[in-house]
Amino acid sequence: MNESLLHLYELQKIDSQLDELIENRGELPQRVDDLRQMVLEQRARLQDADQHVAEVDKRSSEVHQEIIELREKVEKYKAQQFDVKTTREYDAITFQLEDGQKRLARHVDESARLGLELEQTRTEASSMKEDLLEMETDLAQQEVTLKSLMAETEEDEKQLLKKRAATLKLVRPNHIGMYDRVRPAKNGIAVVPVRNGVCGGCFNAIPRQLVLELKKGDKHAVCEYCGRIVVGEVISLAVDGEPQPMPAQVAHNEEEEESE
Ligand SMILES: [Zn+2]
């Protein structure tokens, strides 16, 4: 029997168990990841919004101060109008007064606009903050659920990964290369035994001559229908101990592949 093929079949068994374990965790790990990402993005958005509020607030204060100064100037020009000695001086002061009044009016308009903008940006920022708090609460709850879910399977996963690493060392690189290519394309099942003359993956008949050649377990074949790595039943018996029921999942997936 080819030891590398034997361990390759073992690797398949371990990986199938790992796949099942991860599948049983459901969508929660992904959902928690997504939530974490959303919380980070929301924090960044809130930071931008807070910065915007601060900028508008600062500009608003500046305009407010400028209004106070312009009002003082306008009052000063008004007083000076009574103090002038010549028409020329009067015209000059009147020009400055009118200019000051125009600028004052523009500043008052801008102040009103900034007031509205400030209110709006503050409302936006505070609703963002509420959303963020809600998301953070949700995340914290989901993280607790995930933690207990992981605790149930974490040890199993650790053991399987350890076994996987040890098994991997016993498989020849060319077998691993083949396995890594086939597995993702075949829904995780890359190595199957030949059983009763059919491929354990797609149940199509394997040529009789090939079945005989696989019997001793010292070589493999590639199923001409599904492309999986087929090994003699002697290998699966050595690993499983006894004939395993044909996995229903494989049969089901095969139907899907045929309809592609
Ligand atoms: Zn097949």
Q: Are residues 131 and 205 in the same domain?
A: no
Q: Are residues 110 and 196 in the same domain?
A: no
Q: Are residues 74 and 198 in the same domain?
A: no
Assign 140 a pLDDT band (cuts: 50, 70, 90).
Answer: very high
Q: Are residues 184 and 104 in the same domain?
A: no
pLDDT tens-digit map of 158-185: 999 999 999 999 999 999 999 999 999 9
Assign 246 a pLDDT band (cuts: 50, 70, 90).
Answer: low
Q: Are residues 90 and 28 in the same domain?
A: yes
Please say which residue of 158, 193, 226 terminates a domain.
158
Domain region containing 137: 24-158
Q: Are residues 59 and 148 in the same domain?
A: yes
pLDDT tens-digit map of 86-123: 999 999 999 999 999 999 999 999 999 999 999 999 99
- Cα 65 to averaged position of ligand 1 atoms, centre (Å): 82
The pLDDT value given to residue 152: 85
User: What pTM did the predictor assign?
Assistant: 0.61
Mean pLDDT of 206-220: 93
pLDDT tens-digit map of 40-80: 999 999 999 999 999 999 999 999 999 999 999 999 999 99
The pLDDT value given to residue 254: 46
- Cα 56 to averaged position of ligand 1 atoms, centre (Å): 68
In a domain, 52, yes or no: yes
The pLDDT value given to residue 62: 97
- Cα 166 to averaged position of ligand 1 atoms, centre (Å): 28
Place of tokens 């089901």: 252
- Cα 239 to averaged position of ligand 1 atoms, centre (Å): 20
Q: Residue 259 pLDDT > 80, yes or no?
A: no
- Cα 227 to averaged position of ligand 1 atoms, centre (Å): 6
- Mean residue pLDDT of the chain comes to 92
- Cα 216 to averaged position of ligand 1 atoms, centre (Å): 19
- Cα 203 to averaged position of ligand 1 atoms, centre (Å): 6
pLDDT tens-digit map of 5-21: 999 999 999 999 999 99
The pLDDT value given to residue 83: 87
Residue type, 26: G
Split into its structural domains, the chain has a count of 2
Instruction: Enumerate residues 6+ apart whose C-beta is below 8 A from 55.
Output: none
Q: Are residues 153 and 199 in the same domain?
A: no
- Cα 148 to averaged position of ligand 1 atoms, centre (Å): 39
| Better-predicted residue by pLDDT, 195 or 256 | 195
The CATH number of whichever domain residue 112 belongs to comes to: 1.10.287.1490
